[in-house]
Amino acid sequence: MGPATTHPRPPRPPALVPWWRRWFVRTPAPTAPPLQRITADLRRLETEAERLMSDETVVARGQRLMAVRLAYDLALLDACEAVGAPPPTGRVPLTSGDRLLTTVELTRAGLVW
């Protein structure tokens, strides 16, 4: 026979942990930003992109617009991860088609911004 394998024991629910050990139990830190922050970022970046497109007096408008679109694309990827929607197949920066399809998938998943 091979060596015995030990399986890690699943963590106990907090109610079953003795009171004196509760101080030592750590909750896992979140790995992604909260969904409310992601949707606020999407709204803000969308508004900023519209402002840049309409204002002809902005210096280096093209570079600023590229930066805003890149940030918007990254926020879309965070949103896909947060709601479990399929991420776009292309790389960042996304094409306008990938951006549209990702927006449709997020809307289908119930996300509104």
Which tens digits make up the pLDDT trace of 60-107? 889 999 999 999 999 999 999 999 999 998 889 999 999 999 999 999
Q: How many domains does the chain divide into?
A: 1
How far CA 100 is from CA of 10, 19, 36, in Å, comes to 41, 51, 21
Asked if the structure places residue 5 within a domain, the reply is: no
- Check: pTM over 0.85? Answer yes or no: no
pLDDT at position 106, please? 96
**Which domain range does residue 95 map to?**
31-108
Residue 6 domain-assigned (yes or no): no
Q: What is the pLDDT of residue 80?
A: 94
Determine if residue 44 is left, alpha or beta; phi over 0 gives left, psi from -120 to 50 gives alpha, anything else beta.
alpha
d(CA 93, CA 24): 43
What are the tens digits of pLDDT across the range 8-66? 776 666 666 666 665 666 677 667 789 999 999 999 999 999 999 998 888 888 999 99
